[in-house]
Structure 1
Amino acid sequence: MKLVGKTAIVTGASKGIGYAIADHLMTHGADVVITARNEAELATAAKQLTEAHTADKTKAIPVAADVSLAADITRLFERAVEELGPIAILVNNAGNSTLDLVENLPETDFDAVVGTHLKGTYLGTKAAINHMKATGTPGVVVNLGSVETFGTTRGNAHYSAAKAGIDKFTEVTALEAGRHGIRINAVAPGAVETPMGQDATTPEFTAAWHRTFSVERMGRPADIAKAVVFLASDYAEWITGITLLVDGGTHLRGLPDYADFLLPTTN
């Protein structure tokens, strides 16, 4: 699965799954523009990635951006092209989350989560399609969905709704962009050990997740990165409009109820 000579943009890539995706793309030969909102974390991540891939002769370029802002996405693509040339791969990975029942959910939380996940995916994909059409690049977009699209849990309605929207958005845009030689797919992670996930968990919640797995371990960022690289590669050249579950089998057993473990005062 060689991606030599290709340029990728990975959003939300200063740590966690996004960092692992950038790392794996670089291993397979792609140069990567990584983006996130925290400029200092992003610069550190880019330096670490570039140093780790000296032998691969690939590099990571940091460009700070908020994916929910159209102006930032425009600037991101302009900088990426200026630094590395035409973009062949976009990975819409940036994410955030809060937990609450809808009856208590602040409007600001709803806007922030849906804005980052769903609007961010829309803005990035729109920019990628227009760029790839203009440059004649047979490109690839990979969006990040979630196992929560395939199950239901209390406390995460805004996040689940945004991820479900990404699944349908992926299908429609794949249908629209295919005639331009552009493939668009999604990867839906299950429970993955990341800094964001660790900040919002308890030992009891982790144990509940373990009871959902068929492959009985927590997911790792590399598990998701490998699936993204596959969909971005020529190995998947006749695959478009799908959401690939990478969840250790959780969808076979069902999600733990977030409210039971993380919102203990709810009924």
Structure 2
Amino acid sequence: MNIKNVLDYSGKTVLVCGASDGIGYGVASMYKALGATVHITGTRTADAYDNDFTGMEFHSLNLQSADDISAFAKKFDHLDALVNCIGTVLWGKKEFEREGFEFIININLTGAMQLCTEFFPLLEASGGSMVNLDSVVSIRPAPANPAYSASKAGLVQLTKSLAMKWGRKGVRINTVAPGMVPTKLTTNQSGPEAEKEWIKQIPLSRVGKPEDIGGAVVFLTSPLAAYITGQQIVVDGGMTL
């Protein structure tokens, strides 16, 4: 291992699913800065977002459709790292209803599972790795979001199961659990006053940034983490201590 170049992703192809905004976009931007060929997905077309996707290959992907995910995977003939930043929530007690609960599980858990299985053959061929983004709600559940909490807790166990299954085939898979990072997903929990309350719970005395999460993800798909699989890395400034 050349320690000086260990985070050089030149010549590597990385797919970051759910990278149109927020944490996913921050992760994808970090890979681009490190020289990777970066593919990203969003639920809409690229022009529907405010972010600059220059230097990234944008794909629209419907995570509710198994056929769409399967067809999307067939577009690739090589992949070195898969990062699943997918996840959504419902508010107004909708996650307590069967329809809302199933909607969240279908995207956050079932969608992640299919992405992992569809891209596994390419990662086996390249000796690559996967990272799933779960959440600190897998540790300390959100009372207003039972489906989101369940989906992210399930994602941790799913990742461990896949790590056991695929480790002997040379594919590593881990999870990263972000703490409070202000994004569109957390709009109703962020803002100056809300952040002051969050900071009271965080030993490092600040909310997170997308690059804080990106650092952990990039580490896990690098040679520095070559002996790490099936693990959950919590990146929350100490909030869950």
Using the size of structure 2 for normalisation, the TM-score is 0.90
Amino acid across the alignment from 2:73 = F
Cα deviation for residue 196 of structure 1 reads 2.2
Matches within 5 A, 1:92-241: 92-101=84-93, 105-133=96-124, 136-201=125-190, 204-241=193-230
Amino acid across the alignment from 2:44 = N
What is the aligned partner in structure 2 of residue 264 from structure 1?
none
8 Å CA contact 1:210–1:216 kept in 2: the answer is yes
Bigger Rg, which one: 1
User: Deviations along 1:193-236, whole A, 9 cap, x unmatched?
Assistant: 11221255465543331111011001111111111111011111
Task: Measure, in 1, the Cα distance between the counterparts of 2:134 and 2:118.
Answer: 19
Determine whether 1:23 maps to 2:58: no
Any idea what SS the aligned residue of 2:10 has?
coil
8 Å CA contact 1:93–1:144 kept in 2: the answer is yes
Seq. identity, %: 34
Aligned length: 235
Q: 1:62 aligns with which of 58, 63, 72?
A: 58
Unaligned runs of 5+ in 2: 1-6
Cα deviation for residue 149 of structure 1 reads 1.2
What is the aligned partner in structure 2 of residue 262 from structure 1?
none
Task: Measure, in 2, the Cα distance between the counterparts of 1:12 and 1:152.
Answer: 22
Task: Measure, in 1, the Cα distance between the counterparts of 2:93 and 2:62.
Answer: 26
User: Deviations along 1:77-96, whole A, 9 cap, x unmatched?
Assistant: 222x2xxx401111111111
Cα deviation for residue 8 of structure 1 reads 1.1
Task: Measure, in 2, the Cα distance between the counterparts of 1:42 and 1:21.
Answer: 20
Task: Measure, in 2, the Cα distance between the counterparts of 1:62 and 1:94.
Answer: 15
Structure 1 window deviating more from structure 2 (153-162 vs 35-44): it is 35-44
Any idea what SS the aligned residue of 1:108 has?
helix
For the aligned residue pairs, the C-alpha RMSD in angstroms reads 2.0
Unaligned runs of 5+ in 1: 51-58, 253-267
Determine whether 1:89 maps to 2:81: yes
Q: 2:73 aligns with which of 72, 77, 80?
A: 77
Structure 1 window deviating more from structure 2 (209-218 vs 151-160): it is 151-160
Cα deviation for residue 180 of structure 1 reads 1.2
Cα deviation for residue 43 of structure 1 reads 7.5
Task: Measure, in 2, the Cα distance between the counterparts of 1:137 and 1:154.
Answer: 41
Task: Measure, in 2, the Cα distance between the counterparts of 1:7 and 1:44.
Answer: 24
Amino acid across the alignment from 2:83 = V
Amino acid across the alignment from 1:195 = K
Cα deviation for residue 44 of structure 1 reads 6.4
Cα deviation for residue 4 of structure 1 reads 1.4
Amino acid across the alignment from 1:242 = Q
8 Å CA contact 2:10–2:35 kept in 1: the answer is yes
**Structure number with higher helix proportion:** 1
Task: Measure, in 2, the Cα distance between the counterparts of 1:137 and 1:66.
Answer: 26
Task: Measure, in 2, the Cα distance between the counterparts of 1:177 and 1:186.
Answer: 15
8 Å CA contact 1:67–1:124 kept in 2: the answer is no
Any idea what SS the aligned residue of 1:244 has?
strand
User: Deviations along 1:145-193, whole A, 9 cap, x unmatched?
Assistant: 1111111331111111000000000101011111111000000000001
Any idea what SS the aligned residue of 2:126 has?
coil
8 Å CA contact 1:185–1:240 kept in 2: the answer is yes
